[in-house]
A and B are shown apart, each in its own frame.
Chain A
Amino acid sequence: MLFNSIPFVVFIALFFFFKPLFWSKDNRRWLWILMVSCLFYGWWDWRFLFLLLGTGTVDYLCGKYILQTGKKKLYLWLSISTNIASLLIFKYSLFIAEIIEDALNMAGFHFSIKASIPEFTLVLPVGISFYTFNSLSYTIDLYRGKAKPADSWLHFMAFISFFPHLVAGPIIRARDILTQLKKSSSPDMLTMWNGIKTCIWGYFQKMVLADNLAVFVNANFDQVDSSTGTLNWWMCMLAFTFQIYFDFNGYSTIARGIAKMCGIHFKLNFNHPYRATGFSDFWRRWHISLSSFFRDYVYISMGGSRGSKFETEVNRMSTMLLSGLWHGASWTFIFWGAAHGALLSVENVFKKWFSLKFFKLLWPVLTFVLVVLTWVLFRSETLNEAIQVYKGMLIWQDASVKELIMSNAFIWLIVSALVEWLNWRKSLNYLSKFPIFEALFYALIVSITIFFRGPEQQFIYFQF
């Protein structure tokens, strides 16, 4: 179910209408969360509920045995391999088959592995990358002694499947959420209102900014061969830069808002990433829940920065390659991860230079431009397509500036830049002192969202 669809509006209205009946009683609450979350997920394809419940059950049992038996490592690896296996089967099987097939073809053996892959594995279960990581963090934290176990299977499954974060994150940790879910009290009026405001803001980002920019971006990428003009391609990539941010941040913000309305606090997933002063700073601000997952469970597990400088860079690059691969089974994502890994290493190796005043001013701008350039790899379906876009951006070709400026995308690009780079928080906090103006402001944002929304688009991160 999409947050920006009519069925979801009906779903969420019914959820809050019936919530008081279930929320105050402990067992009923957990069951209610699990049931509505299964309905939310099953709306897309009910068959994949078995995968969600199956991998979740394995992780719950592994967590239990990690604490109860002396074979902690065995159960940790069982949990890790179950989750990795489900990712390999459902997300990467086709990609791996392609690689093997290409390698065999080069060696002179011609036969098709792709054709023999079972059909059901070709459908990517929505949110698989998110809920497997949620689940993994639970068993790893239990192994490390950093989390308390869930009281029962029902509690664990409610945490894994809690619908606001289920299909596109943020990736949450059991230690942050389980204790909050145990509280039966309903949120006070202030929290409710903050939740509503957060949702409105998220919907505005997704439906107005991201979806309007998507029209221009998709039109160009649908016709990479015939789209021309250097300015056109720069505008397209700037539009995508903001589209992907507001699409994903929009989703995370709506998820935070809904959770808040249930009295649950999700950590911030984006913190104005395009205000970053460098690449390390960018990754502290972009998709924070994923970055911290990779930092805590991959980078640090590999040794982090404890070894030599060379080892640190190898660890960093490996983590970024994995992060790229997490986004999708394609070479473009791997190259995107590698590009960010390389830029992080460059920044780290030359960090003395960046303390100079000149670089302090220049590097944030250069970081933004390089981030825009790396998004080309992320958005392109193939490396050839990416090369064509790079050519379009870097080899001068004329384009009608008037047409670009008069386009819908340009207007929303300007609004997006203002939303990201102006400091709104102070003004919004000030506004909350005047209920009449605050209410009018948010009512206007709702109207703008309804009447100026772009054509309905699926959330980009659903495919991951």
Chain B
Amino acid sequence: MPVEMTYRLKMAERSMKLWMLFIPITLLASIFILPELPSSPMRRDAFWAGKMESDTNEDIVFVGDSRVYRGIDPLVFGRMTKLKARNFGFSSASPDSILIEHAINCLSSSGKKLVVIAVSANSFMSSSIENTHFKSVKSWSVSDKWVKYHIYPLISFFDNRSVADIFKYMKSEGYYEHYNISNGFAASYKIPADSNAAVPAYQRQFEREQYSKDAESKFINYVLRLKSSGYHPVIIRVPCSYSMIQLEDMATKNAIPRLMRELMDRGIDVLPYVSDGLSSYDGSHLDEQSAELYSQKLSQDIGRLYSK
């Protein structure tokens, strides 16, 4: 073998051995050096995969959009009512039959079968009634869901970081979420908080899309059917900022208050909209503390219904 080749082989062998030595060192150093961002992508995946787990021992399920999974904490419910609760909020979700059926499959057959459904103007807009996010999570393969739910939380220190997010985090800026994988609640906040931040985007959406009366009437029929088949549906509207509520009601000509009244007239439990003392970090979602307060208030109201 030529001398040059022997030399290169030796160098390659040495490089490879050193590389194997350096790999754990650089990985450990990275874990220590890089800031752990609160919105962990791996925990986020585990969080969504967790919503697909089919336990069947819940007393109460919450169904709705991002306002639900960011605004209602089942842990608070458990603490205050001793009920086992789970949150089935999905991004831009519409409370259609597929989503509600997915949630009620987790209810214990011996309980009161409480199904708390959140309605918002956004949930009956054409882009939401597609339920894209829920469907995409549902379409994950069984092995994918298993890996995400069981493995990702264990290796979330290998989470990917966005360079821009690290800069924002160092400057204390950005949107953050802490995921509770077992119950489907995400405590969220935004720095700096701005109760009008999401309003322009919603305004654009209302200009572009139509409120679907068809989806609304399907929803009413489904809720009535749900009640007649032994479930106990409760309709709520999760609080958001004053400007957001005004925008939603104006853009949809008071569709949600009208819908809630109609359901109440037809014998469905409807909790009144209350936002006193609660604050939203972007106009649409409750911050962590307000979510806790709102969950307490909701658990008192629902506790009363449960004891009926």
**Do A and B truly interact?**
yes
Residues of chain A at the chain B interface (Cβ within 8 Å): 6-7, 188-190, 192-194, 196, 212, 225-226, 406-408, 411-412, 432-433, 435-436, 438-440, 442-444, 446-447, 450-455
Choose one: A192, A226, A432, A454; the contact of B160 (CB below 8 Å).
Answer: A454
Contact: A190 with B8, CB < 8 Å? yes
Cβ–Cβ contact B26 & A432, under 8 A: no
B15 touches A451 (CB 8 A): no
**Docked-complex contact A193 and B12, CB < 8 angstroms:** yes
| Alpha-carbon distance A454/B162, docked complex (angstroms) | 8
Please give, as numbers and ranges, the residues of chain A lying within 8 Å of B15 by CB-CB distance.
193, 432, 435, 438-439, 442
Interchain nearest-CB distance for B5 vs A (Å): 8
Taking each of B16, B30, B167, B208, which has the highest tally of chain A beta carbons within 10 Å of its own beta carbon? B16
Main secondary structure of the interface of A (DSSP, over half): helix
Contact of B16 among A7, A193, A406 (CB under 8 A): A193
Contact indicator per residue, chain B 138-169, by CB within 8 Å of chain A (1) or not (0): 00000100010001000000111111110100
Q: Do A408 and B158 form a contact, CB below 8 Å, given A188-B9, A189-B16, A226-B204?
A: no
Q: Which of B19, B21, B158, B164 lies at the interface centre, i.e. has the most chain A CB atoms within 10 A of its CB?
A: B19
A444 to B52, CA, bound (A): 37
Contact of B18 (CB < 8 Å), options: A7, A412, A435, A444: A435
Q: Is B27 in contact with A447, judged by CB distance below 8 angstroms?
A: yes
Chain B neighbourhood of A433, CB < 8 A:
11
Are A443 and B19 in contact, with the CB atoms below 8 A? yes
Bound CA–CA A188/B1 (angstroms): 13
Residue in A225, A411, A446, A454 whose beta carbon sits within 8 Å of that of B26 in the complex: A446
Interface residue B262 (Cβ < 8 Å from any Cβ of A)? no
Q: Known interface pairs A6-B147, A189-B12, A435-B14. Does A442 touch B19 (Cβ–Cβ under 8 Å)?
A: yes
**Is B22 engaged at the interface, CB distance under 8 Å to the other chain?**
yes
B165 touching A408, Cβ below 8 Å: yes
In the complex, which residues of chain A have a beta carbon less than 8 angstroms from the beta carbon of B164? Answer: 406-408, 411
Q: Evaluate contact between B163 and A225: CB separation under 8 angstroms.
A: no
Bound Cα distance A192, B16 (Å):
9
Q: Are A225 and B208 in contact (CB under 8 A)?
A: yes
| B12-64 interface with A by 8 A CB criterion | 12-19, 21-23, 25-27, 29-30, 34, 41
Count of B residues near A, CB < 8 Å?
36
Q: Which single residue of chain A is at the shortest CB-CB distance from B21?
A: A439
A408 touches B162 (CB 8 A): yes
CB distance from B108 to the nearest CB of A (A): 34
When the two chains form their complex, are residues A439 and B22 in contact, meaning their CB atoms are under 8 A apart? yes
Task: Give, as a whole number of angstroms, the nearest-CB distance from A415 to chain B.
Answer: 9
State the Cβ distance, B175 to closest chain A Cβ, in Å: 14
Residue contact B13 to A455, C-beta cutoff 8 Å = no
Contact yes or no, B19 A439, CB < 8 A: yes
Chain A residue with Cβ nearest B28:
A447
Contacts of A450 in B (CB 8 A): 27, 30, 158, 160
The interface residues of chain B lying within 8 Å CB-to-CB of A454 are 160
**Do B12 and A440 touch (CB < 8 A)?**
no
Determine whether the beta carbon of B158 is less than 8 Å from that of A432.
Answer: no
Are A452 and B22 touching (Cβ within 8 A)? no
Q: Tell whether, in the assembled complex, residue B163 and residue A411 are in contact, meaning their CB atoms are under 8 Å apart.
A: yes
For the A-B complex, the count of residue pairs with Cβ-Cβ distances under 8 Å equals: 90
4 further contact pairs, Cβ within 8 A, besides A190-B9, A451-B160, A453-B160: A212-B162, A440-B18, A444-B26, A447-B30
Collect the chain A residues with CB atoms within 8 Å of residue B11's CB. 432-433, 435
Residue on B with the closest CB to A450?
B158
A305 to B160, CA, bound (A): 51
B147 nearest CB across to chain A (Å): 6
The answer to whether A455 and B41 have CB atoms under 8 Å apart is yes
Shortest distance between the CB of B248 and any CB in chain A (Å): 19
- Which residue of A has the minimal Cβ distance to B132? A222
> Beyond A443-B25, A446-B23, A455-B41, is A189–B9 a contact (Cβ under 8 Å)?
yes
| A7 and B27 form a contact (CB under 8 A) | no
Supposing A7-B143, A225-B208, A451-B34 touch, asked if A196 and B16 sit within 8 A by C-beta, the answer is yes
Interchain nearest-CB distance for A5 vs B (Å): 9
With A226-B204, A443-B23 in contact, is A451–B161 under 8 Å at CB? yes
Residue numbers in A under 8 Å from B16 (CB-CB): 189, 192-193, 196, 439
Q: B160: nearest residue on chain A (CB-CB)? A: A453
Complex contacts, A440 vs chain B, CB 8 Å: 18, 22, 26
Among B34, B151, B164, B165, which residue has the most Cβ atoms of chain A within 10 A?
Answer: B164
Residues of A within 8 A of B158 (CB): 450-451
Query: Of A192, A439, A451, which is within 8 A of B30 by CB?
Result: A451
Q: Which residues of B contact A192 (CB under 8 A)?
A: 12, 16
B22 touches A443 (CB 8 A): yes
Q: Using CB atoms, name the residue of chain B closest to A212.
A: B162
Q: Cβ of A452 and Cβ of B163 under 8 Å apart?
A: yes
**Contact call A226/B12, Cβ cutoff below 8 A:** no
Q: B165 contacts A439, CB within 8 Å?
A: no
**Is B22 a contact of A455 with CB atoms below 8 Å?**
no
21 A-B pairs within 8 Å (CB atoms) are namely A188-B9, A189-B9, A190-B8, A190-B12, A194-B12, A196-B16, A212-B162, A406-B164, A406-B167, A411-B164, A412-B163, A432-B15, A435-B14, A435-B18, A436-B18, A438-B19, A443-B23, A447-B26, A447-B27, A451-B161, A452-B162
Closest to A194 in B: B12
B162 surroundings in chain A (CB, below 8 A):
212, 408, 452
Interface centre among B18, B25, B29, B41 (most CB of A within 10 A): B18
B151 touches A6 (CB 8 A): yes
Q: How far is the CA of A32 from the CA of B17 in the complex (A)?
A: 28
Which residue, of B26, B143, B159, has the highest number of chain A Cβ atoms within 10 A? B26
Residue of B with least CB distance to A410:
B164
Looking across the interface, which residue of chain B has its beta carbon closest to that of A406? B164
Residues of B within 8 A of A439 (CB): 15-19, 21-22
Q: How far is the CB of A458 from chain B (nearest CB, A)?
A: 12
- CB neighbours of A435 from chain B (8 A): 11, 14-15, 18
**Which chain B positions have C-beta within 8 A of A443?**
19, 22-23, 25-26
A439 and B22 CA atoms in complex are apart in Å by: 7
Bound CA–CA A412/B147 (angstroms): 29
> CA of A6 to CA of B159 in the docked complex: distance in angstroms?
14
Residue of chain A at shortest CB distance from B13: A189
Whole-angstrom CA separation of A118 from B18 in the bound complex: 56
Query: Whole-angstrom distance between the alpha carbons of A450 and B17 in the complex?
Result: 20
- Closest-CB distance, B295 to chain A (whole angstroms): 30
- List, in ascending order, chain B residues with CB within 8 A of A408's CB: 162-165
- Contact between A452 and B161, CB atoms less than 8 A apart: yes
- Which are the 8 A-B pairs with shortest beta-carbon distances? A439-B18, A443-B22, A408-B164, A439-B19, A435-B15, A435-B14, A193-B12, A190-B12
CA separation between A380 and B19, bound complex, in Å? 42
